[in-house]
Amino acid sequence: MPPIGWYLAQGLIPLGYDSSDDDEGPAELPDGRLVCGPHGFVTCGKCCVDFSFMDDVLGADEDDEEDDDVVNNDIPKLNFNLQPMSRDLTRGTGRVFPTEFTAPSPLVKPLELFSGRRNHINVTRFTLPSNPSKGLILTDGACLENGRIAPKAGWAFWHGLGPSGNNLIASSRLEAQGPFGSPSEQTSNRAELRAVIAALRFRHWPGEGFRTLVFATDSEYVVLGSTKWARNWVENGWVTRKGVAVKNKDLWEALLGEIEKFKDVGMTVEFWRIPREWNVVADAAAKEAAAEEEAPDQWMEMIGMAV
């Protein structure tokens, strides 16, 4: 169970304690709404709960007017909780691979193509107008002093808009430890992969009605690696054609593991390579995260909160 400080930092009031996640019960927000105790979600696929009915019970807030200090801007709005990993990570076996997304035109930008809207609590997701179950996430990784003596890497992903039109972005420094406990190098390629893994684990996306998630990224390494190269790596025992070990194997396995788990519950993953200039919000957030002084000592968990 998260410590009491986790609840208080999120403005939550824990309603009970137990050693089992399944028995923890809900936590109450200051406005009377409920979220699941273990993860802080209004609708949680893992806990099999849905407290969205509280909106109907409590009604709209009377003072829901927009705060003058919160305006539509490009400054990332953080709406996640960062804590040590609490959910099991599995190594992908190669039974499922993502596919590459092809836009109808090379000139169409992500937010132009995914111009549909899906509202979930106070979050607006971007979807294909012709297929509202197909959502968009933009990811990026950055590394200051990449390849030099003291590199510092960070990652970020954009996943929609908040109630006042603010960008919703989760971001962090790249950990000093990989997903399965091995030491982690600070590189741009690892940061790019980390952003996708964090986004996949951020929410139970099928619980929001998604059957496909499209990850738009300017990283050729992520797109081609996941949709083409990984097949050969798995078949060859994670050794390249030159007979050397594949770099970042731990992150590739973690990524494939998440894709396999979502496939088992009816959601597929696609990757779309876009120009860097189309990814400025996630890029800026990743660079800002890379500039943070300290990298987490251990692999951390990103838990999405209803904002």
CA 7 to chain CA mean position, Å = 21
pLDDT at 5: 39
70: pLDDT confidence band, cut at 50, 70 and 90? very low
Indicate whether 201 pLDDT > 90. Answer: yes
Total count of residues recorded for the chain = 307
241: pLDDT confidence band, cut at 50, 70 and 90? confident
Q: Where are the domains of the chain?
A: 4-58, 80-304
Indicate whether 288 pLDDT > 60. Answer: yes
3: pLDDT confidence band, cut at 50, 70 and 90? very low
Q: Which residue matches tokens 């590739």? A: 252
pLDDT at 175: 95
pLDDT at 83: 52
Percent of the chain surpassing pLDDT 90:
62
**pLDDT tens digit sequence for 251-287:** 999 999 999 999 999 999 999 999 999 999 999 999 9
78: pLDDT confidence band, cut at 50, 70 and 90? very low
**Residue 135 · residue 118 · CB < 8 Å:** yes
**pLDDT tens digit sequence for 152-192:** 999 999 999 998 899 999 999 999 999 999 999 999 999 99
Q: Which CATH number fits domain 80-304: 3.40.228.10, 3.30.2010.10, 3.40.50.970, 3.30.420.10?
A: 3.30.420.10
Percent of the chain surpassing pLDDT 70:
71
Give CA separation, 186 vs 87, 222, 227, in Å.
24, 16, 24
Check residues 42 and 86 and name the one with the higher pLDDT. Answer: 42
CB burial of residue 138 (10 Å; 0-12, 13-18, 19+): buried
Give phi and psi for 87, each to the nearest 5. -110, 145
- Both structure tokens of 212: 């496909």
pLDDT at 24: 45
Strands 131-144 and 34-36: unpaired
pLDDT at 146: 84
Give phi and psi for 32, each to the nearest 5. 95, -10
Q: With left for phi above 0 and alpha for psi between -120 and 50, is residue 48 left, alpha or beta?
A: left
Amino acid, res. 57: V
Question: What's the mean per-residue pLDDT of the chain?
Answer: 80
* Alpha-carbon gap, residue 6 to 18, rounded angstroms: 16
pLDDT at 202: 93
Indicate whether 19 pLDDT > 80. Answer: no
Predicted TM-score (pTM) above 0.85: no
pLDDT at 40: 65
pLDDT at 44: 59
